[in-house]
Structures are given as structure tokens and as C-alpha cells.
Structure 1
Amino acid sequence: MIRSAGIVAAAALVLTACGGGGQIGDSGNQASSNKKMVLLPGVAAEPFYISMECGFRDAAKAAGYEVDVQAPASFDAPQQIPLVTGVLANKPAAVLIAPTDDKALAAPMKQLKDAGIKVVEVDTKLEDTSVAVSTISSNNEQGGQLAAQTLNKLAAGKSGSVLVLNTKAGTSTTDARAKGFEDEIKKYPNLKYIGQQYTDNQPDQAASKVTATLAANPDLIGVFATNLNTGEGAATGLRNAGKTGAVNLVGFDASPKQVQDLQGGVVQALIAQDPAGIGKQGVEQAIAAIEGKEVKRDIETNLVAITKDDASANEKYFYKQKC
């Protein structure tokens, strides 16, 4: 979820259901009377997914669909799987879902598909590419590369260690961000990559891992936090250690708290996504599949790096707390 670097064009593009090259939906279903559509985000009450929900609601309602949104209390497969099962019983025309595990959600999501429900992945995705008709996500490897490039600029030639804080192994988006960062950071010999640590998507764990890493690596010069919760936790860890500003923190996403930390100098850069755009495009691809039109199988949106100096010019990328 990270998203100035001047590479935001694709995030703003609206891809039509007739976009070139893709999977064809089932024919003969162009006049479906089923006007129910469901969004299953990765976690409740998170600004990234709230912003996605806003885009989803606006697009689905504009197309005449009844909408429902159900999210687990935490980014956790055992909590999300019962929601998928519950949705199956109601048989909506389409389900947009951010799977919380790229393997564990495969079987429940396949049940949706087997029941004739169109499945669209938003943000995260399964390893099994046969379940969803379309996947809409940020170009997460590109986001990790952008984070490494930004951290190198912030270091301004100084040498030191850099750390990646990831969420949970098996989360497709954050794993891709970490990979992009790892590949890119090798280009900067002044920055010593000391690996990634997992936080279980808990801010308090991110804070404690930053504190422990500082104790073991006094030359720590940068931290890349791969999502909202790790970014907020890393900021707390740096505050507690009295290292605000001394260690450059690049976060992923642009929640209200992260933006506040950016403007206050606690965070030096944010890689922001376009979650509302992802939700909107998810609806478009779902409707194309329902109506038997051409569906674009994979859609990747670009991201933007935001610093304190250009924050006001990039306000449209700030995430919402309510629709």
C-alpha cells in the first residue's frame, strides 16, 4: 500500500472494460439481473482500504449495483475466510477481495468462482492465477525500487546501514515491495542492506524492531517500512530512541497519521498509492466480466514519492478515514 517522482500517470488512468488484451468473460450474461457486489478488504478501519472502499462504492452505485463491504478486524486469513464463506451463501454477481494470504485464501475464493461469482483481486493476489478474472494492484516492485532511490537521495552520499520492515511473509504486495527495494539498493554501495524483519503488521512490533536494530547497528541511516502499520510503528520507534531525522524513514502509503509525521519531519518520504482508483477499476473489470465483455487480466498502477517539500502538491494521494 506506496505509493515528487513524476511517475503517477498510470495511477490516474481509468482503464475501460474494453481495454486491449485480456480474458473474455462468460458470454450470454449481458442482461444479468443480479445487481449485488461485495468488497472484502484486507483489514477494517485502515485508511488505505477505506479509500479503496470509497472508490468501490462510488463506481458500483453509479453502475446501479447494491454494495456491501465486510472486512476482518486484522489482516489475518483465519478472520477473512469466514467472510468469504458468508458471502458465498448470498451469491452476489461479483466479489472484489484483497486476499490476506496468497495461499490460504485460494480454496475459499475458488468456491466463489465455482458458484459463478466473478472474483476480482484488489491490492493483494493469490499465487494461483486461475481464480480471479482480474487483478488490480499497485506496481509494488516499482514502489520498492522507488523507496530505495528515495532513500539514496535522502542519504546524500553518506554511508550507513538500511533496514526493511515487512508485514507478514506471504503477503503478495509487501513481499514485492521488499524485493524491489532489495534489488535496487544494491546499486548504492554507500548503503549497507542489513535485511528485512517481519512485524506481523503490528505497529508496536515495528517500533520495538527499530529500537533493537538501532542498538545493534548504530550506523543505521535508513528504514523502509513496507506498509501503513509498519511505517507508523517505525516512526514511534525512532521517536522513542531520539533518532527522529537522524535516521531517514521512508514509509509506504499516505494515511492521515503518516502525512502528519511527514509534515512534522518524523517521516522523510512516503510512497503513496491510489487505492480509490484501484477500487474503481476493480468495479469496472467486475462489470465487464459479468456482462461477458473483455476483461483485462492484470492492471498495475504506478506510485508517487512524496516529501515534505511537495506534500501540498500531492494532496490528492492522501488517504481517507471515511467516505
Structure 2
Amino acid sequence: MNRKGAIIAGLLTLALAATGCGSSNSTSPGTSSGPLKLAFVQGVIGDAFYVTMQCGIQEEAAKVGATVSTNGPQKFDPALQTPVLQSVIASQPNAILIAPTDVSAMQQPVQQAVQQNIKVVLVDTTLKDPSIAASAIASDNLGGGKAAFDAIHQLAPNGGKVLVVSVQPGISTTDDRAKGFQDAVKANPSYQDLGVQYSNNDPQKAAQIVSAALQANPDIVGIFATNLFSAEGSATGIRQAGKQGAVKVVGFDAGPDQVKALQDGTVQALVAQQPALIGRDGVTQAVAALKGQPVTKSIGTGFTVLTQANLNSPEGQAAVYKTAC
């Protein structure tokens, strides 16, 4: 009987051990023990906007004891961002904060993360169907576009031709900025909208676009550049055409090159977002989702219009983007 009892006890022990291993393997990323693992997938590496957002993410993650890994494509391109995201998914973080590079093309890749029980928070850009994400945080881009037109209206009050230089169609943020600007132009008959041209996030191409536009329409009075690289290229194109001061430029974002252009007078105003705040809010919402706490499905953040007059103020300096954390 003792031998038989020992055999039975041994079998029970093996059964319990097997049950424990099975339970451990089925634990979802969002409920695993230890520090929370967060991953940030940027829209593009090297953009001061995303660097500043990364700083905000790291700052907030440190407060809650979470770890953060940051990855991103070399260009703002869904074909390049998709494999980056797939690699991040394979590392099984608890949550991913991502700036999708296209509203449609990134829908399925992000869905794959959700199917792996990874919480997703959209930061800056969004998807065609953002409901799959726990939360989405972005600037008021329509309002930012209108603010850009208001700035040009103040700089060139007599009206005239205006041009938008954007990135590429299908990016939610820049599409909204262009729309906000163009809607404001349409509401004012003193201005003529020359439409939107796309630089594919290439400053050199943006410079070429502006140079060609000024040759065809030397009476352009204002250009709205919807992101950092578009503004950088637009400033170069105007400088090459010798049109500094004659063509008023309002850029979106406040990276070092844009701030220098503002200081030099090539760009007359910048619409600065709050990327660090977007990052901090993203971490807050991701952690809440992981803990089963209430989340805010959509959060809008504001912006600061920078000019030479307010650039050196405390508010102005706080709005300038970082190049490193």
C-alpha cells in the first residue's frame, strides 16, 4: 500500500505541475507579472516631434515603473513601418503606443497586435477604424490648420495666392491640417487656394515643389507646410528663389531647423504641437487599459503658435521640440 500510495502521490504531483505550466503559458501579456513592458513605434526615426514624444513616454513610464522600447522606420512609410511593428509584436510587450503611417495600410498590422492580446494606443496619427485601440491621443489638427491660415492672414492681410505643402495623402494628421487650412481659405474670398502638393516627407522634394510653384506663381503670398520636413524644405525653396520676406511661411511643428528658420525670418510662424503630453497621456491610457481601469477613448491636445515675438518666452521655449531626452 505504501508503494502504491507513493505512486499515486507522484502522479498527482506531475498532474499539478503540468496544470501549473499550462496556466503560465496561457497568461496574456497584459496580465503577466513583473514590470509592464511598453513599446513605442514611431512614425519615423529622427523626427524631433517623435523624439519629444518619446521623452514624454519615458518620463511617464518611469513614474509607473514600466519599461519602454522605442522603434520606428527610417521613412514615414507603411511598407517600412509594418515589419517594425511585426517585430515589436513578436517581442510580446504588454502595450504598444504607435503612430500609424497610413490610416488604411496600417489597419491590419495593428489589428494583429490586438489579436495577440496586446493593448494598443494610437498617438498622433490614427486609423480608418480606431475603435480597435484602447485610446487615441492627437492634436486638434483641423484647428491647427485654421490657426495656420489665421497667421498667414495676419502676415498678408491683403489676400492673394496660398499653397499647402504636405507629406502624402492618407495620413490622418496632415490631411486634417490641410483641410482645416483650406476650409479657412475658402471662407475668405480675398485668398486663392493653389491646392496641396506632397513632398513624401522629403525636404529636398518640398524645396523643389516650392521653387516650381514660385516660378509658376511668383505672386504667392503664403505657404502652409503641414509638418516638420515640409516646412524645412519650403524654407529652403523660398531662400533659393530669393523670396525671403515676400512669401509668408507658416510651418507645423517646432524642431530645431524650424526654430532656426523662424529666428532667421524665413518662416514667420510655427504651429507647435504638444508631443510630450501626447506621449504621457498615451502611457496613462495604456496602463489604465492593462489594469482594467476606465480609459478615455479619444483625447485631443492643443498647440502653441510661435513667432519671433514669443519664441523666447517661457511658454515659447516649452513648446520647442527636443532632439534627445
Mapping for residues 67-78 of structure 1, pairs under 5 Å: 67-78=68-79
Could you report, residue by residue, the CA deviation over 1:31-83 in whole angstroms, capped at 9, with x for unpaired residues?
Answer: 85461100001000110000000000111122111110001111011111011
Structure having the larger proportion of residues in helix: 2
In 1, distance between residues paired with 2:312 and 2:217?
A: 35
- Contact 2:122-2:133 at 8 Å conserved across structures: yes
Could you report, residue by residue, the CA deviation over 1:274-311 in whole angstroms, capped at 9, with x for unpaired residues?
Answer: 10110000000000000000000000111121111111
- Contact 1:30-1:292 at 8 Å conserved across structures: no
Aligned to 2:16: none
Aligned to 1:212: 212
Q: Secondary structure at the match of 2:196?
A: strand
Give the AA of the match of 1:143: G
Give the AA of the match of 1:276: A
Unaligned runs of 5+ in 2: 1-29
Residues matched between the structures, number: 294
Q: TM-score of the superposition, structure 2-length normalised?
A: 0.88
In 1, distance between residues paired with 2:258 and 2:159?
A: 26
Aligned to 1:164: 164
Mapping for residues 36-185 of structure 1, pairs under 5 Å: 36-156=37-157, 158-185=158-185
Give the AA of the match of 2:324: K
- Contact 1:32-1:291 at 8 Å conserved across structures: no
The answer as to 2:247 corresponding to 1:243 is no
Q: Secondary structure at the match of 2:132?
A: coil
In 1, distance between residues paired with 2:37 and 2:322?
A: 25
In 1, distance between residues paired with 2:91 and 2:200?
A: 32
1:159 CA drift (Å): 3.0
In 2, distance between residues paired with 1:316 and 1:266?
A: 22
Give the 4+ runs in structure 1 shifted more than 3 A: 29-34
- Contact 1:40-1:98 at 8 Å conserved across structures: yes
Could you report, residue by residue, the CA deviation over 1:86-123 in whole angstroms, capped at 9, with x for unpaired residues?
Answer: 11111111000000111111111111111110000000
Q: Secondary structure at the match of 2:174?
A: helix
- Contact 1:39-1:68 at 8 Å conserved across structures: yes
- Contact 2:273-2:319 at 8 Å conserved across structures: yes
Cα RMSD (Å): 1.2
Give the AA of the match of 1:122: V
Distance 1:275 1:69, change over 3 A: same
- Contact 1:118-1:132 at 8 Å conserved across structures: yes
Aligned to 2:4: none
In 2, distance between residues paired with 1:30 and 1:298?
A: 24
More displaced, 256-265 or 188-197?
Answer: 188-197
Q: Secondary structure at the match of 1:215?
A: helix
Give the AA of the match of 2:104: K
Unaligned runs of 5+ in 1: 1-28
Mapping for residues 286-297 of structure 1, pairs under 5 Å: 286-297=286-297
Rg: which structure is higher? 2
Higher RCO, Cα 8 Å, sep 6+: 1
In 2, distance between residues paired with 1:30 and 1:201?
A: 39
Q: Secondary structure at the match of 2:321?
A: coil
